[in-house]
Amino acid sequence: MTTRPRPLVAGNWKMNGLKASLSELSAIRDGVMAGGAGRAQTAICPPATLVMAAADLASGSPLAIGGQDCHANQSGAHTGDVSAQMLKDAGAAYAIVGHSERRTDHQETSAQVKAKAEAAIAAGLTAIVCVGESEAQRRAGETLAVVGKQLEESWPAGAAAATLVIAYEPIWAIGTGLTPTPADVAEVHDFIRGVALRLAGAEGAGIRLLYGGSVKPSNAAELMAVSNVDGALIGGASLKASDFLAIAAVYKG
Ligand code: PGA
Protein backbone atom coordinates (compact mmCIF):
# COMPACT_ATOMS: atom_id res chain seq x y z
CA MET A 1 0.00 0.00 0.00
CA THR A 2 1.27 3.46 -0.80
CA THR A 3 1.43 6.04 1.97
CA ARG A 4 -1.52 8.38 1.96
CA PRO A 5 -0.77 12.11 1.75
CA ARG A 6 -1.15 14.13 4.94
CA PRO A 7 -4.79 15.29 4.96
CA LEU A 8 -5.79 18.93 4.58
CA VAL A 9 -8.95 20.41 6.08
CA ALA A 10 -9.51 23.83 4.50
CA GLY A 11 -12.27 26.37 5.10
CA ASN A 12 -13.56 28.72 2.41
CA TRP A 13 -15.33 31.65 4.01
CA LYS A 14 -16.46 33.00 0.61
CA MET A 15 -17.86 36.56 0.83
CA ASN A 16 -18.44 36.27 4.56
CA GLY A 17 -16.49 37.76 7.41
CA LEU A 18 -15.90 41.14 9.02
CA LYS A 19 -13.24 42.06 11.55
CA ALA A 20 -15.50 40.64 14.26
CA SER A 21 -15.22 37.21 12.61
CA LEU A 22 -11.56 37.06 13.58
CA SER A 23 -12.75 35.78 16.97
CA GLU A 24 -13.94 32.59 15.18
CA LEU A 25 -10.56 32.38 13.52
CA SER A 26 -8.81 32.66 16.89
CA ALA A 27 -11.01 29.86 18.22
CA ILE A 28 -10.08 27.70 15.22
CA ARG A 29 -6.40 28.48 15.75
CA ASP A 30 -6.65 27.60 19.44
CA GLY A 31 -8.46 24.35 18.67
CA VAL A 32 -5.85 23.36 16.11
CA MET A 33 -3.04 24.27 18.50
CA ALA A 34 -4.64 22.05 21.12
CA GLY A 35 -4.40 19.13 18.68
CA GLY A 36 -8.00 19.32 17.53
CA ALA A 37 -7.20 18.48 13.91
CA GLY A 38 -5.12 15.44 14.73
CA ARG A 39 -2.75 14.60 11.89
CA ALA A 40 -4.46 16.90 9.40
CA GLN A 41 -3.12 20.21 8.18
CA THR A 42 -5.61 23.05 8.40
CA ALA A 43 -6.23 26.26 6.51
CA ILE A 44 -8.83 29.01 6.46
CA CYS A 45 -9.39 31.15 3.37
CA PRO A 46 -11.10 34.36 4.52
CA PRO A 47 -12.09 37.22 2.20
CA ALA A 48 -9.13 39.24 0.89
CA THR A 49 -9.84 42.06 3.35
CA LEU A 50 -9.05 39.75 6.27
CA VAL A 51 -6.10 37.77 4.89
CA MET A 52 -3.41 39.90 6.52
CA ALA A 53 -5.10 40.12 9.93
CA ALA A 54 -5.91 36.40 9.81
CA ALA A 55 -2.31 35.54 8.93
CA ASP A 56 -1.10 37.68 11.83
CA LEU A 57 -3.48 35.88 14.19
CA ALA A 58 -2.47 32.44 12.96
CA SER A 59 1.24 33.20 12.84
CA GLY A 60 3.26 30.75 14.92
CA SER A 61 0.41 28.21 14.88
CA PRO A 62 -0.10 25.27 12.50
CA LEU A 63 -3.21 26.97 11.04
CA ALA A 64 -2.47 28.27 7.54
CA ILE A 65 -4.29 31.10 5.77
CA GLY A 66 -5.26 31.26 2.10
CA GLY A 67 -6.87 33.52 -0.45
CA GLN A 68 -10.02 32.58 -2.41
CA ASP A 69 -8.77 33.59 -5.85
CA CYS A 70 -5.83 35.37 -7.44
CA HIS A 71 -5.07 37.15 -10.70
CA ALA A 72 -2.83 35.44 -13.22
CA ASN A 73 -0.45 38.42 -13.28
CA GLN A 74 1.83 39.53 -10.45
CA SER A 75 0.86 43.19 -10.69
CA GLY A 76 -0.47 45.74 -13.12
CA ALA A 77 -3.56 47.60 -14.29
CA HIS A 78 -6.25 45.20 -13.05
CA THR A 79 -8.59 47.24 -10.89
CA GLY A 80 -10.08 45.30 -8.02
CA ASP A 81 -7.98 42.17 -8.48
CA VAL A 82 -5.55 40.62 -6.01
CA SER A 83 -2.34 38.91 -7.14
CA ALA A 84 -0.83 35.74 -5.75
CA GLN A 85 2.26 37.72 -4.80
CA MET A 86 0.04 40.06 -2.73
CA LEU A 87 -1.55 37.09 -0.95
CA LYS A 88 1.88 35.66 -0.22
CA ASP A 89 3.06 39.04 1.03
CA ALA A 90 0.01 39.23 3.33
CA GLY A 91 0.96 35.90 4.91
CA ALA A 92 -1.11 33.42 2.90
CA ALA A 93 0.10 29.92 2.10
CA TYR A 94 -2.75 28.80 -0.19
CA ALA A 95 -4.93 30.21 -2.95
CA ILE A 96 -8.18 28.60 -4.05
CA VAL A 97 -8.60 28.93 -7.82
CA GLY A 98 -11.36 27.83 -10.16
CA HIS A 99 -14.10 27.57 -7.55
CA SER A 100 -17.39 26.94 -9.34
CA GLU A 101 -18.73 30.25 -8.04
CA ARG A 102 -15.90 32.01 -9.89
CA ARG A 103 -16.32 29.85 -12.97
CA THR A 104 -20.03 30.85 -12.95
CA ASP A 105 -20.07 34.41 -11.57
CA HIS A 106 -16.99 35.54 -13.50
CA GLN A 107 -17.13 33.17 -16.47
CA GLU A 108 -13.66 31.89 -15.64
CA THR A 109 -12.41 29.30 -18.11
CA SER A 110 -10.16 26.39 -17.25
CA ALA A 111 -7.38 28.11 -19.23
CA GLN A 112 -7.67 31.10 -16.89
CA VAL A 113 -7.79 28.81 -13.86
CA LYS A 114 -4.58 27.15 -15.05
CA ALA A 115 -2.88 30.54 -15.42
CA LYS A 116 -4.04 31.54 -11.92
CA ALA A 117 -2.83 28.26 -10.43
CA GLU A 118 0.55 28.73 -12.11
CA ALA A 119 0.74 32.30 -10.74
CA ALA A 120 -0.08 31.02 -7.25
CA ILE A 121 2.65 28.40 -7.43
CA ALA A 122 5.16 30.89 -8.86
CA ALA A 123 4.43 33.18 -5.90
CA GLY A 124 5.20 30.38 -3.44
CA LEU A 125 1.60 29.43 -2.64
CA THR A 126 -0.08 26.05 -2.83
CA ALA A 127 -2.92 26.21 -5.38
CA ILE A 128 -6.23 24.56 -4.50
CA VAL A 129 -7.81 23.93 -7.90
CA CYS A 130 -11.56 23.20 -7.81
CA VAL A 131 -13.42 21.00 -10.27
CA GLY A 132 -16.91 19.53 -10.29
CA GLU A 133 -19.96 18.73 -12.37
CA SER A 134 -23.40 20.32 -12.44
CA GLU A 135 -26.55 18.43 -11.53
CA ALA A 136 -27.53 18.13 -15.22
CA GLN A 137 -24.10 16.79 -16.12
CA ARG A 138 -24.30 14.16 -13.38
CA ARG A 139 -27.78 13.12 -14.50
CA ALA A 140 -26.49 12.80 -18.06
CA GLY A 141 -23.69 10.49 -16.88
CA GLU A 142 -21.03 13.04 -17.83
CA THR A 143 -19.38 13.47 -14.42
CA LEU A 144 -16.04 11.83 -15.16
CA ALA A 145 -15.81 13.39 -18.61
CA VAL A 146 -16.49 16.88 -17.22
CA VAL A 147 -14.12 16.51 -14.27
CA GLY A 148 -11.44 14.99 -16.51
CA LYS A 149 -11.65 17.87 -18.99
CA GLN A 150 -11.51 20.47 -16.21
CA LEU A 151 -8.46 18.77 -14.72
CA GLU A 152 -6.63 18.51 -18.03
CA GLU A 153 -7.31 22.15 -18.90
CA SER A 154 -6.79 23.64 -15.41
CA TRP A 155 -3.70 21.63 -14.45
CA PRO A 156 -0.76 23.95 -13.68
CA ALA A 157 2.51 23.08 -15.41
CA GLY A 158 5.10 21.48 -13.16
CA ALA A 159 2.66 20.91 -10.29
CA ALA A 160 3.92 18.79 -7.39
CA ALA A 161 2.45 17.35 -4.21
CA ALA A 162 3.60 20.39 -2.22
CA THR A 163 2.20 22.95 -4.63
CA LEU A 164 -1.12 21.56 -5.85
CA VAL A 165 -4.29 20.41 -4.12
CA ILE A 166 -7.37 19.35 -6.09
CA ALA A 167 -10.84 19.91 -4.64
CA TYR A 168 -13.68 17.87 -6.10
CA GLU A 169 -16.82 19.91 -5.52
CA PRO A 170 -19.99 18.77 -7.27
CA ILE A 171 -21.80 22.05 -7.98
CA TRP A 172 -25.15 20.59 -6.92
CA ALA A 173 -23.71 19.71 -3.49
CA ILE A 174 -22.36 23.19 -2.68
CA GLY A 175 -24.44 24.92 -0.04
CA THR A 176 -27.40 22.62 -0.64
CA GLY A 177 -27.06 20.06 2.14
CA LEU A 178 -26.92 17.36 -0.57
CA THR A 179 -23.87 15.14 -0.92
CA PRO A 180 -22.94 12.35 -3.29
CA THR A 181 -22.90 8.84 -1.82
CA PRO A 182 -19.53 7.58 -0.59
CA ALA A 183 -19.49 5.23 -3.60
CA ASP A 184 -19.97 8.17 -5.97
CA VAL A 185 -17.22 10.15 -4.23
CA ALA A 186 -14.91 7.12 -4.42
CA GLU A 187 -15.54 6.75 -8.15
CA VAL A 188 -14.62 10.38 -8.84
CA HIS A 189 -11.65 10.52 -6.44
CA ASP A 190 -10.16 7.29 -7.79
CA PHE A 191 -10.54 8.73 -11.26
CA ILE A 192 -8.86 12.01 -10.21
CA ARG A 193 -5.97 10.07 -8.67
CA GLY A 194 -5.46 8.35 -12.00
CA VAL A 195 -5.41 11.70 -13.81
CA ALA A 196 -2.97 13.10 -11.21
CA LEU A 197 -0.60 10.17 -11.73
CA ARG A 198 -0.80 10.63 -15.47
CA LEU A 199 -0.25 14.40 -15.38
CA ALA A 200 2.26 14.64 -12.52
CA GLY A 201 3.93 11.23 -12.54
CA ALA A 202 4.98 9.91 -9.13
CA GLU A 203 4.16 13.30 -7.54
CA GLY A 204 0.54 12.62 -8.36
CA ALA A 205 0.36 10.08 -5.56
CA GLY A 206 1.00 12.80 -2.98
CA ILE A 207 -1.33 15.48 -4.34
CA ARG A 208 -4.14 15.98 -1.85
CA LEU A 209 -7.63 15.36 -3.24
CA LEU A 210 -10.20 17.19 -1.13
CA TYR A 211 -13.93 16.59 -1.22
CA GLY A 212 -16.09 19.73 -0.94
CA GLY A 213 -19.85 20.36 -0.94
CA SER A 214 -22.05 20.34 2.18
CA VAL A 215 -19.40 18.81 4.42
CA LYS A 216 -20.61 19.08 8.01
CA PRO A 217 -19.80 17.44 11.35
CA SER A 218 -22.49 14.80 10.82
CA ASN A 219 -21.21 13.52 7.46
CA ALA A 220 -17.48 14.25 7.68
CA ALA A 221 -16.35 10.87 9.05
CA GLU A 222 -18.14 8.98 6.30
CA LEU A 223 -16.88 11.22 3.49
CA MET A 224 -13.30 11.46 4.77
CA ALA A 225 -13.09 7.65 5.00
CA VAL A 226 -13.61 7.30 1.25
CA SER A 227 -10.78 6.02 -0.94
CA ASN A 228 -8.50 8.82 -2.19
CA VAL A 229 -10.22 11.52 -0.11
CA ASP A 230 -7.39 13.41 1.59
CA GLY A 231 -9.41 16.04 3.37
CA ALA A 232 -12.20 18.54 2.88
CA LEU A 233 -12.90 21.98 1.48
CA ILE A 234 -15.61 23.40 3.70
CA GLY A 235 -17.80 26.40 2.97
CA GLY A 236 -20.69 27.18 5.32
CA ALA A 237 -19.55 24.96 8.17
CA SER A 238 -16.12 26.65 8.28
CA LEU A 239 -17.67 29.89 9.47
CA LYS A 240 -18.26 28.43 12.93
CA ALA A 241 -15.15 27.33 14.82
CA SER A 242 -17.04 24.54 16.57
CA ASP A 243 -18.24 23.04 13.27
CA PHE A 244 -14.88 23.39 11.52
CA LEU A 245 -13.09 21.77 14.46
CA ALA A 246 -15.69 18.99 14.69
CA ILE A 247 -14.99 18.15 11.03
CA ALA A 248 -11.21 18.32 11.46
CA ALA A 249 -11.51 16.05 14.50
CA VAL A 250 -12.14 13.19 12.07
CA TYR A 251 -8.36 13.03 11.74
CA LYS A 252 -7.71 12.67 15.48
CA GLY A 253 -6.46 9.38 16.78
P1 PGA B 1 -20.38 24.32 1.34
O2 PGA B 1 -19.36 24.96 0.27
O3 PGA B 1 -19.54 23.55 2.32
O4 PGA B 1 -21.07 25.49 1.95
O5 PGA B 1 -21.29 23.42 0.57
C6 PGA B 1 -18.24 24.25 -0.18
C7 PGA B 1 -17.44 25.10 -1.12
O8 PGA B 1 -18.02 25.76 -1.99
O9 PGA B 1 -16.19 25.12 -1.02
| Mean confidence (pLDDT) of the chain | 97
pLDDT tier at 3, thresholds 50, 70, 90: low
Is 78 catalytic? The answer is: no
Is there a domain that residue 15 lies in?
no
Is there a domain that residue 116 lies in?
yes
Burial class (CB in 10 A: 0-12, 13-18, 19+), 181: exposed
Question: What is the tens place of the pLDDT at every residue in 194-241?
Answer: 999 999 999 999 999 999 999 999 999 999 999 999 999 999 999 999
Q: How many separate domains does the chain show? A: 1
The pLDDT assigned to 4 comes to 81
99, 108, 118, 189: which one is catalytic?
99
Is there a domain that residue 226 lies in?
yes
The pLDDT assigned to 219 comes to 98
Nearest CA to ligand 1 atom 1: 235
Is there a domain that residue 1 lies in?
no
Q: Which residue ranges have their beta carbon within 6 Å of ligand 1?
A: 12, 169, 174-175, 212-215, 233-237
Q: Which of 157, 231, 155, 223 is nearest to 195 (CA)?
A: 155
Average pLDDT over residues 5-21: 98
The pLDDT assigned to 142 comes to 98
Share of the chain above pLDDT 70, in %: 99
Is there a domain that residue 10 lies in?
no
Q: Which of 93, 78, 103, 106 is nearest to 153 (CA)?
A: 103
Pocket test for ligand 1, best of 8, 9, 12, 105 (most atoms within 8 A of CB): 12
Displacement of CA 96 from its chain's centroid (Å)? 6
Q: Checking phi first, is residue 68 left (phi over 0); if not, alpha (psi -120 to 50) or beta?
A: alpha
Nearest ligand 1 atom to the CA of 176 is: 5
Is there a domain that residue 147 lies in?
yes
The pLDDT assigned to 1 comes to 43
Is 203 catalytic? The answer is: no
Nearest ligand 1 atom to the CA of 130 is: 9
Is there a domain that residue 12 lies in?
no
The CATH number assigned to the domain holding 62 equals: 3.20.20.70
Rounded to whole angstroms, the Cα distance separating 247 from 201 reads: 31
Question: What is the tens place of the pLDDT at every residue in 19-47?
Answer: 999 999 999 999 999 999 999 999 999 99
Rounded to whole angstroms, the Cα distance separating 162 from 165 reads: 8
Average pLDDT over residues 57-83: 98
Supply the range of the domain harboring residue 40.
26-252
Is there a domain that residue 14 lies in?
no
Average pLDDT over residues 59-88: 98
Nearest ligand 1 atom to the CA of 233 is: 9
Q: For the stretch 108-142, what's the b/e string if a residue is b when 16 or more beta carbons lie within 10 angstroms of its beta carbon?
A: bebebbbbbbbbbbbbebbbbbbbbbbeebbeeee
178 alpha carbon – ligand 1 mean position (Å): 11
